[in-house]
Amino acid sequence: MAITVNEGKIFTINTKNTMYQMYVNEEGVLFHSYYGAKIGYSDLSYLSYKRNWIAAFSPNPRGKDYSHNQTKDELSVFGNGDFRLTALSLVNHDGTTACEPVYYSHQILNGKYSLEGLPAFYGDEGETLVITLKDKAYDIYFHMYYGVFSEYDLITKALVIENKTDKQIKLNKALSLTLDLSKGTYDIIHFHGAHARERMYERTRITHLKSTVSSNRGASSHLQNPFVIVCDKDANEEHGNAYGVGLVYSGNFVISAERDQYDLTRVVAGINPEGFEFTIEPNDSFTTPEVALVYSNEGFGKLSNCYHKAVRNNLCRGKFKNARRPVLINNWEGTYFDFNADKLVNMARDASKIGVELFVMDDGWFGHRDDDFTSLGDWFVNEEKLQGTLENLVKRINAEGLDFGIWFEPECISEDSVLYREHPDYCFKIPNRDPQMSRNQLVLDMSRKEVRDNIYNQMVKVLNSANITYVKWDFNRNLCDLYSVELPRERQGEIYHRYMLGVYELLERITSSFPDILFESCSGGGGRFDLGMLYYMPQVWTSDNSDAIDRLKIQYGTSFAYPVRTMGAHVSVCPNHGNARVTPLSTRGNVAYFGTYGLELDITKMTEEEKEEVKRQIVEFKQYYDLIQYGDYYRLLSPYTPDESRYCAWEVVKEDKSEALVCTVAYEAKCTVPPETLKVRGLDPDKFYRINGSSEAYLGGALMNGGFWLDYDHVSYASRLYHITQI
Ligand code: GLA
């Protein structure tokens, strides 16, 4: 039993290695006491605040020995004297902003809770604790949900605010998490970026300034990922306390941390309050997105592996979550908009010969789209361009031995489209103003059922018209000029969130209507690579940047929260279309192995030698598939430390430690290069191993503590795989 309640006052959540404790005081306030290493049962309520200590300018409840400005409140609220970052701010029907949540009841449920209309981790092996608080003055209830996956040290949280008064209340801020850490000096690691440069690792000290990552773009965005690690100032891959905070949400978000005036560190996370307001009608409720927490006292490696397993087994869904995914070829970088059916079939024919299994027709097959000015919203086939029906094209591709996949951008619309001409009000636009264009397109108001139904029906028609086994769901701009014709003036602040709820509803409908289709999420590459999207689509196009060297940083940053299985990774041509870099084909292959591996090029233009190399790669990728996709993942050498090592390196290890695969990628070749050894992780220290079938035997402990010699290739960006097998 992961959840225990003592005398109705102390709530303890135990996972395999961690413990989370809360406590209800005499007035019914729910305080956080502890989150960290498992320490067996003990009453840690004394850690919630220092008794009999109230600092100047920290207001206190009348006659009480504490101030909310100094306590660890499990649900921190604005307006009660807590002047730090808080999670909740509401306006009562009378205009007051006061809110005093106190204990009302609790429940322990078998299995993991789900959230209506929102993505969430799921599974019968999970457990649920619900603590309900109630405002002292009004019938407003706060249901605090805790989900526990003991094996992965994962604790999830969500808040349902229920209005049982007979009047409307309004939320100005409704975050999912308040986390007060024990005293310490902490860093925050976050993953920033841009289009084609997603999830760049950055680490900063949490100081008395607020450290905030956020998005106000209507998508989680390329710029910041809704995942951070808060860790000891000296924590690293193998050592130290680290807390992962990941939002299971794809829209506007905020994660903020601050060290307060008493040097305590608080972290809050949830929907970005900027541009957010939500009215809750009587007898209605509001549900915050879920936040997923993992604590590790063995540094980031352990923390990442907990997320990886939980995402693989208890977030991703459907037929493909654990099945081997097909090796695909996508025509985007190979042809862009310039193709017809014959061209695609020729590509498929060559691809089939070297072992590719799925052909994906990207953007440009619908309406009269030959560039990015037109036709989004017109999801009907351009039969002139495809030289016939879609069914016919798919039959031709299938006849070459390949399955068929197709691209959609369901959330957007071009002004030059039938849909726009018929329904100009379907997209976001502010009356009397000219909207901002982005890639010449506008965004559909997905908060409206009518709009979603239209897109759903169009997509269903296409998907039923041919033998389609894969869909790439793209989203190539961000939201602005928000105005929804269906919402009254006072509810316009709900659009960002309602948009996300609408997208999730449409995704749920489409993915459940087509359970045999593999869905890949995309937003100009990795502009929406988050735990929310992974609930609907088990893989994400990681970045439009497919240069193997840039990918080292992109995939490195992505790997902190997201498993290899979720990262779309393709081999493309050189010079790379984005940065003109030339890299060995073997390196492009090796880097893409640690993702979904596919091709994104015009295969008909490859030399025979290149095709042979890719053929070899596909065989090798399949040979290592299970090890790579289900093994424990270790970041060995960071791509950010070229002065410390000439290589970037990472490793996957089979759960039973019998086998590992290390990949190294060297930076630019240099003169007079000293040889280097590399230490691996995760092996059995007492067992012997061979590397790439060599005759030498190495003790696991030796490989982990002493390392092995790396082979040096006098070529820029050379890469090697080292297959380590137990004897
Ligand atoms: C986005 C995607 C690309 C491709 C294009 C098509 O940029 O990330 O992979 O699908 O759209 O327009």
Q: Which residues contact 250 (CB under 8 A, 6 or more apart)?
A: 219, 220, 500, 503, 504, 528, 530, 532, 533
| CA 495 to centroid of ligand 1, rounded, Å | 26
pLDDT at residue number 124:
96
Q: Where is pLDDT greater, at 19 or 8?
A: 19
| CA 508 to centroid of ligand 1, rounded, Å | 22
Pocket test for ligand 1, best of 473, 523, 544, 570 (most atoms within 8 A of CB): 544
Q: Is the CB of 597 under 6 A from ligand 1?
A: no
Task: Find out whether 543 and 196 touch, Cβ atoms under 8 Å.
Answer: yes
Task: Find out whether 175 and 158 touch, Cβ atoms under 8 Å.
Answer: no
Q: What is the DSSP string of 57-120?
A: T----TT-S--TTTS-BSS-BTTSS--S--SEEEE-TTS-----EEEEEEEEEES---BTTB--
Q: Is the CB of 476 under 6 A from ligand 1?
A: yes
Give the Cα separation of 76 and 68 in Å (integer): 8
Pocket test for ligand 1, best of 328, 329, 332, 336 (most atoms within 8 A of CB): 332
To which residue do tokens 């541009």 refer? 275
Structure confidence by residue, pLDDT tens digits, 508-533: 999 999 999 999 999 999 999 999 99
pLDDT at 538 over 80: yes
- Closest ligand 1 atom to residue 372 Cα is 12
Q: Is 650 exposed, middle or buried (0-12, 13-18, 19+ CB in 10 A)?
A: buried
Stretch 695-722: mean pLDDT, rounded? 97
Stretch 659-665: mean pLDDT, rounded? 98
Q: Is the CB of 30 under 6 A from ligand 1?
A: no
The verdict on whether omega for the bond into residue 575 sits within 30 degrees of 0, i.e. cis, is yes
- Reading the block at residue 254, the tokens are 């905020």
pLDDT at residue number 195:
98
Q: Is the CB of 543 under 6 A from ligand 1?
A: no
pLDDT at residue number 357:
98
| CA 667 to centroid of ligand 1, rounded, Å | 28
Stretch 479-503: mean pLDDT, rounded? 97
Stretch 182-205: mean pLDDT, rounded? 98
Q: Which protein residue has the closest C-alpha to ligand 1 atom 2?
A: 524
Percentage of residues in the chain having pLDDT higher than 90: 98
Give the Cα separation of 622 and 628 in Å (integer): 10
Give the Cα separation of 440 and 78 in Å (integer): 41
Q: Is the CB of 520 under 6 A from ligand 1?
A: no
pLDDT at 8 over 90: no
pTM: 0.98
Q: Is the CB of 474 under 6 A from ligand 1?
A: yes
Stretch 30-46: mean pLDDT, rounded? 93
Q: Which protein residue has the closest C-alpha to ligand 1 atom 4?
A: 332
- Closest ligand 1 atom to residue 524 Cα is 8
Structure confidence by residue, pLDDT tens digits, 64-100: 999 999 999 999 999 999 999 999 999 999 999 999 9
pLDDT at 41 over 80: no
pLDDT at residue number 560:
99
Task: Find out whether 470 and 326 touch, Cβ atoms under 8 Å.
Answer: yes
pLDDT at residue number 7:
81
Q: Which of 495, 407, 489 is nearest to 451 (CA)?
A: 495
Stretch 400-418: mean pLDDT, rounded? 98
Structure confidence by residue, pLDDT tens digits, 362-382: 999 999 999 999 999 999 999
Q: Which of 70, 94, 66, 91 is nearest to 79 (CA)?
A: 91
Q: Which protein residue has the closest C-alpha to ligand 1 atom 12?
A: 363
| CA 220 to centroid of ligand 1, rounded, Å | 17
Stretch 572-593: mean pLDDT, rounded? 98
Stretch 169-174: mean pLDDT, rounded? 98
Q: Is the CB of 407 under 6 A from ligand 1?
A: yes
Q: Is the CB of 290 under 6 A from ligand 1?
A: no
pLDDT at 157 over 90: yes
SS3 content of the chain, % helix, strand, coil (to 5): 20, 30, 45
Q: What is the mean pLDDT of the chain?
A: 97
Q: Is the CB of 632 under 6 A from ligand 1?
A: no
Given pLDDT bands bounded at 50, 70 and 90, which one contains residue 487? Answer: very high
Cα 686–688–694 angle (5° rounding)? Answer: 160
| CA 416 to centroid of ligand 1, rounded, Å | 19
pLDDT at 488 over 90: yes
| CA 427 to centroid of ligand 1, rounded, Å | 21
pLDDT at 551 over 80: yes
| CA 363 to centroid of ligand 1, rounded, Å | 7
- Catalytic site residues? 474, 544
pLDDT at residue number 452:
98
Q: Is the CB of 524 under 6 A from ligand 1?
A: yes
Q: Which protein residue has the closest C-alpha to ligand 1 atom 6?
A: 363
pLDDT at residue number 673:
86
Pocket test for ligand 1, best of 331, 407, 596 (most atoms within 8 A of CB): 407
Helix 608-623 vs helix 585-593: crossing angle, to nearest 10: 20
pLDDT at 1 over 80: no
| CA 522 to centroid of ligand 1, rounded, Å | 8
Stretch 277-291: mean pLDDT, rounded? 98
Q: Is the CB of 541 under 6 A from ligand 1?
A: yes
